[in-house]
Structure 1
């Protein structure tokens, strides 16, 4: 069993999986990526992204709003644990590759860990474009959980993924044992104003999300002290899923539907919740972390110093440790209430 300590020295806890940023070199050409990934995956230099990409697969998920099963992208755990699983979501317009650094640490620590792409983003097959509004995203995730995960989970959501997690936990409490919310974007008022735009204008706005300069700027805004060469590679990783022909349609469908607005659901969350926040987040103010801590009925908060908006990318050792400590503490307290036979 992994023994957790209060130390802040990350490398000593996970000595086999170093995650320091460095100038990456392209791995050997014998990497066999899934055929459904964009061919541009071959140009990605980050070895952690390449390794995780090798494990992405598509599972059929049946939903009421599509006549055909949706071949849905995810990374499945290698082993099943007696402990309930951890399921990792990603942020707005992103993919499972967002977890390339933290996911291996959680697996190495013995946790049964899934990474799931949210409907409309990531690497699922949406050629027969289904609805990608909030209700559809929720139903799709529920059906994936019901078909494959099948046990109450610790659900982890960063940025907009935190809104996805809150919405899901409130609507399907039987599926969620605990929540972990990372730099949570849960107070935004959705994207309802975009519903008033002509579709042509909505498409023009969404197409900007695909642009390399905008995504590169977002990297500089989201992270502290990332080199230019790493920023270029991270930008390419972040926009891979945008290269699918259905990406714009799926994203416009989500945006003009109004997006997530879960601020009124926060006090309905009954699960024990860990809030993780980067102290130097330039996208979502850490003042909102304090507000969220006050409004959630059963939450603890941990802030990571010298860290920006996506701690699981920038400080994976710290995030993995906090999740492990949180789950260990929960399991210990849960065991205290198990009735004696």
Structure 2
């Protein structure tokens, strides 16, 4: 254990996903491939939306921002994990651990708010189509996106400060592949009641409230879709909403389970964290492009342009 003169831990040891060298190598290759695919897929969406003028609409503007958020989320976790997979011991300094904690919740909070924002955009488009362009004008869209980033920063600040202030003077082994609040509070050598309560109230209520808002908004959206006379119109609206609901379920399910309880470790915690921090950013481009004909056509057009050049 690395400690200072005041017996304060100056570095932690991440136990990772396995202690078996062969399994660690397999995870290294898997993480590397998924990270490269995440970068490629999300950058492709961002470039396509930027280049194709037909995609300069609020829905694709929000999708482009979601791709950037997913890039940031993977970059906070994966590069550090790749390095640690190759090391016999997996040390991470106290400052790096707290930085990862802050940025994990910063980007995670932004994504929570942004998924709600995307649901609001679909709500206005389907439930109030005649006023859609007036309500979701350029200035409003920019303001809403900035608000999601500001909300994520406030959430991360409120989440990190109580944990950074805890005294860590005992065990320094974290049974995880990343630094997060529930696992860190288990290592503190003083009462963590306040920190645990703030953690549950902050992260748990954020995830649960965003999820409930999404469920309610989609309840209104589905009821409106069912009133559409045209079967083709209903199918198109359901297809758009199904894509977003799929992303919401994949992201919020693990978050609600992990943060809406006291910091008790379960074996399933690490696979769930792996899912929302690494798998979901990789899946989002696939889900949106496979189910969005307009985006697929724009990507094909972009590809043909590059071939001609």
In terms of fraction of residues, the more strand-rich structure is 1
Structure with the greater alpha carbon radius of gyration:
2
- Provide TM-score, normalisation by structure 2: 0.28
In terms of fraction of residues, the more helix-rich structure is 2
- Provide TM-score, normalisation by structure 1: 0.26
The structure whose RCO (Cα within 8 Å, separation 6+) is larger is: 2
